[in-house]
Amino acid sequence: MKTLTTTLFILFFGILATNAQHSITGKIVDEQNLPLPFANIVLYKIGEEANPKGTVSNDNGTYTFDKIASGKYKIEISMLGFETQKITAFELNSNKTFNITLKEESQTLNEVVIKSKRPVIKQTAEKLIVDLEKSEMINSNLQDVMRKIPGVLVTNNGISIAGKGGITILINGKTTEYMDVDTLLRDFPADNIAKIELVEQPGAEYQASGSGAIINIILKKNVKLGTHGSVNTWVGEDEGFEWGSGVSIASYKNKLNWQAGVNYSKPTYREDLFLVRTVGSETYDQVTRQPYDPDNFTIRGSLDYYLNENHSIGIGGRYNTRKSTRTVSSETIISDANNRNTLFSENYFDRDRANFNINPYYEYKTDSDKLVIDFNYVDFTNNSTNTLYDIAGSTIDFTDRKYIQDGKYNIKTYRADYTKTFSDNFKISTGTRFADVTTDNDLQTFEENTNNGFDKNDEASSRFVIDETIFALYSKVNANYGKWSFSGGLRYENSNTDGTSTFLKDGTLTTEVQKRPIKKIFPSASISRKITDVLGASVSYSYRIQRPSYNSLNSFETFLDPFSAGEGNPNLSPAYTNNYQFNLTYEGQPFFTVGYSKTDDVIFKLIKQDNTTKQIRQQDVNVENNANWNFRLFAPVNFAKGLEGYTGIIVTNTDYQSSTYGVDLNKWNLIWFLQASYQLPWDVNFELSGNYGTGALEGQIEVDWLAELDFSFGKKFLDDKLKVNLGFNKILNRGYVGNIDYGNGTAQVENNGSRQNVQLRLVYSFGSQFGKKKSKRNSNNDEENRINAGN
């Protein structure tokens, strides 16, 4: 064994020594002999021009290529505002030095850069990449961009991919789950986005937790030299006047790069619930209207310092607040063959959410090695008070109630990732991660007394505390051979979750502790092959775990109205999913996809009815079996000049089976969707997106047909610095209308958001126009995803 280890050690370093014999260095200056930082230097090996190496000059104008094998090479040096210089073919058999003087380009201002109006989309075996930096779209916000991703549907019910929800949204690898998704989609400016990655089969570098796909939003970073930024504002009308505004600014000079931004918004919208159900011989006809007009505030910033060409450090932070007060109005008519009664009630909500996030990091990077070490800290509070009371006109007595719930979440994550690139065709990644989580939720329940005040009900009050640690190790290999590409990895996770409930039981203060240790290996792999010059195929597999959200483990009751409530389930177990996918691509674009997933103990929102209390309740439970098939077909829409876009169909089959809860659900669904843009006269860009579905399963609800239609007009002014967008959303909007079978009763349900939203958005960009690209760091945090705090 010792001899084998020694042999492998010598072979490993022998290979490195053979392939890394020489270096190329030099300095880039202008005609005044002043150093030129951030010049692009590209090294081509003659005969292998398809795989060049690149670097940029540092603030002293110097550059270095290390570990270059002997051979015949050429070099190209370029920088915006200067003429491109080339070093013709030379033989490299020793260290070389090339000092270059760049001449200013006399016609820089007349340079024309042609960009597509559509994003550049590329499908790989692991993910779908949407590159926005090479497009000139007049997008206004993240919601516009999401609608341009094939297979992604943005509806009232959130974001779904191939008929599946549970989407995890990351920004530069950091979760947004404790942010309101509707606010994020509406407020996040599209101009800040460089790329979007849709990862349906997460590899070993991603955390194993999550039931759906990952959408990673990669922000622009160090895109322009000097100081630059943008100001955006919007106004609209939904359930009243709404507005928002924000500013972002960034600067890159010498070794220091900083970015900052602030945003405020006050949207207005409403959710309506219509529910008709039977309880024995009685009919309960309920209408609930829930308006929203929250105040959202965000301030963010980051600072990066480049110690030298290989080493950098930085820190980023974000602070979000969301304050919301609203009154939910409910009317329930209870009738049978002889009687008719009405209960009018209101539920006043006062919610105050705030989160603080800070993320320092260190990065080491060369042509062949990359090491990232970072620490992520999250402090999140979610405090709410809601008062449920009846109002004049009711013919049914009801005891008013008040609930005060304080929630605190503290998450500390330590991470290290290392990547070794041996060649353009072989790369190994490895890393480790440790998360330490504490959550504390305290619920106090009050009931109306005879003096129209409230007394605390200790029997209905409780406190729930979670202590959790998760340790992970992973390794992954990426390899290319001819027309074949392969990636495969293993991730090991060891987690320990202790949930402590403190409550009053039969007059005695009781403490119960539930422990949940998990040790498991999660494999993932993908393989792809280029079949012809335009056609490619890939297959992929991943094994995933869905841990319960922290809130779903709380045994608290939360009432929307006197007859509707939600409750937690401290006995929830994690769900495990095997995912399989096959892709066909045409010219790198998604064309045809087949996916299949099988989940054991899936976390399912069970709606049940108590015929004694006449209440319906929603609770997360583990359903033994869940399977999902999906078939996707995409096609471009470009049959007329000036028209660009895509269309397609998604066919899904969803199946839930549970003998424990009497669940037996199976449904096929077809969704047709269209996303297109057309260039109107006077350079006005018209965009349209729509979809139609034949019906689906929304958990336990069997939904009938649904549809949505949105369109917008966009134009640029002031030398393209000002972008104006007028959007008409939910012009056609049929939310989900369906049926629920409780087992001991049935219900007809309609849940819909407000309609016909109109928004005018303006974005003005200012500052330097010089370009430069830098790398983006990427990580993710599942513990934050599981906060799941609602509105």
pLDDT band at 531 (very low <50, low <70, confident <90, very high): very high
Here the CATH number for the domain that contains residue 705 is 2.40.170.20
pLDDT band at 177 (very low <50, low <70, confident <90, very high): low
- pLDDT higher than threshold 90 for residue 490: yes
| Total number of residues shown for the chain | 791
Q: CB under 8 Å, gap of 24 or more: what pairs does 113-117 form?
A: 117/644, 117/677, 117/679, 117/685
The verdict on residue 10 lying in a domain is: no
Is 708 in the same domain as 740? yes
How many other CB atoms sit within 10 Å of the CB of residue 761? 25
**pLDDT tens per residue, range 131-160:** 776 565 555 667 777 777 777 777 655 677
Is 668 in the same domain as 695? yes
The verdict on residue 233 lying in a domain is: yes
Which among 110, 144, 165 is the end of a domain?
Answer: 110
Is 27 in the same domain as 150? no
- Using CA atoms of 155, 160, 163, 167 in order, give the dihedral in degrees to the nearest 10: -150
Q: What are phi and psi of 117, to 5 degrees?
A: -80, -10
pLDDT band at 774 (very low <50, low <70, confident <90, very high): very low
Beta-carbon contacts of residue 679 (< 8 Å; ≥ 6 apart): 117, 642, 685, 686
pLDDT band at 223 (very low <50, low <70, confident <90, very high): very low
Question: Using CA atoms, how far apart are residues 766 and 232, in angstroms rounded to an integer?
Answer: 11
The arithmetic mean of pLDDT across residues 87-113, rounded, is: 71
CA distances from 51 to 47, 48, 68, 424, 526 (A): 10, 6, 13, 7, 23
pLDDT band at 121 (very low <50, low <70, confident <90, very high): confident
According to DSSP, the β-strands at 340-365 and 193-199 are unpaired
- pLDDT higher than threshold 50 for residue 543: yes
Is 164 in the same domain as 64? no
Of the spans 78-92, 224-238, 353-367, which averages the highest pLDDT?
353-367
Q: What is the pLDDT of residue 79?
A: 76
Q: What is the pLDDT of residue 706?
A: 84
pLDDT band at 111 (very low <50, low <70, confident <90, very high): very low
Beta-carbon contacts of residue 419 (< 8 Å; ≥ 6 apart): 369, 370, 371, 427, 428, 429
Domain limits at 98? 17-110
The arithmetic mean of pLDDT across residues 299-304, rounded, is: 90
Angle at 681 between CA 678 and CA 687, to 5 degrees: 25
Of the spans 20-34, 502-516, 653-667, which averages the highest pLDDT?
653-667
- pLDDT higher than threshold 60 for residue 9: no
- pLDDT higher than threshold 70 for residue 36: yes
Is 570 in the same domain as 604? yes
* Residue-wise DSSP of 398-446: ---EEEEEEEEEEEEEEEEEEEEEEETTEEEEEEEEEEEEEEEEEEEEE
Q: What is the pLDDT of residue 780?
A: 53
Beta strands in 482-588, from DSSP E residues, in sequence order: 484-505, 508-530, 535-546, 557-561, 564-567, 575-586
- pLDDT higher than threshold 80 for residue 184: no
The arithmetic mean of pLDDT across residues 621-648, rounded, is: 89
Share of the chain above pLDDT 90, in %: 32
**pLDDT tens per residue, range 555-588:** 777 777 788 888 888 888 899 999 999 999 888 8
Is 131 in the same domain as 55? no
Residue 18 in 3-state DSSP?
helix
Minimum mean pLDDT range among 49-58, 170-179, 529-538: 170-179
Is 106 in the same domain as 154? no
Q: What is the pLDDT of residue 309?
A: 76
The verdict on residue 27 lying in a domain is: yes
**pLDDT tens per residue, range 395-419:** 888 888 999 989 999 999 999 999 9
The verdict on residue 12 lying in a domain is: no
Question: Using CA atoms, how far apart are residues 270 and 257, in angstroms rounded to an integer?
Answer: 42
Average pLDDT, the chain: 83
- pLDDT higher than threshold 90 for residue 174: no
CA distances from 608 to 559, 602, 663, 720 (A): 14, 17, 11, 56
Here the CATH number for the domain that contains residue 69 is 2.60.40.1120
Question: Using CA atoms, how far apart are residues 450 and 195, in angstroms rounded to an integer?
Answer: 61
Is 413 in the same domain as 512? yes
Minimum mean pLDDT range among 166-170, 418-422, 574-578, 729-733: 166-170
Q: What is the pLDDT of residue 4?
A: 43
How many other CB atoms sit within 10 Å of the CB of residue 50? 8
Minimum mean pLDDT range among 19-23, 276-280, 645-649, 711-715: 19-23
- pLDDT higher than threshold 50 for residue 166: yes
- pLDDT higher than threshold 70 for residue 176: no
The arithmetic mean of pLDDT across residues 439-458, rounded, is: 89
Amino acid in position 427: K
The verdict on residue 791 lying in a domain is: no
Q: What is the pLDDT of residue 757?
A: 84
pLDDT band at 377 (very low <50, low <70, confident <90, very high): very high
- pLDDT higher than threshold 60 for residue 597: yes
How many other CB atoms sit within 10 Å of the CB of residue 631? 16
The arithmetic mean of pLDDT across residues 631-654, rounded, is: 88
- pLDDT higher than threshold 50 for residue 734: yes
The verdict on residue 36 lying in a domain is: yes
Amino acid in position 593: T
Q: What is the pLDDT of residue 156?
A: 59
Residue 679's Cβ-count burial label (10 Å; 0-12, 13-18, 19+) is middle
Is 82 in the same domain as 142? no
Is 85 in the same domain as 227? no
End-to-end CA distance of the chain: 59
- pLDDT higher than threshold 50 for residue 110: no
Which among 110, 137, 162 is the end of a domain?
Answer: 110
* More reliable by pLDDT, 80 or 113: 80
Structural domains in the chain (count) = 2
Q: What is the pLDDT of residue 241?
A: 92
Of the spans 18-22, 152-156, 195-199, 284-288, which averages the highest pLDDT?
284-288
The arithmetic mean of pLDDT across residues 697-708, rounded, is: 86
Is 365 in the same domain as 452? yes
Which among 110, 129, 159 is the end of a domain?
Answer: 110
**pLDDT tens per residue, range 225-254:** 578 888 989 999 988 899 999 998 888 766
The verdict on residue 11 lying in a domain is: no
The verdict on residue 1 lying in a domain is: no
Is 224 in the same domain as 101? no
- Please give the structure tokens belonging to residue 561: 């109205």
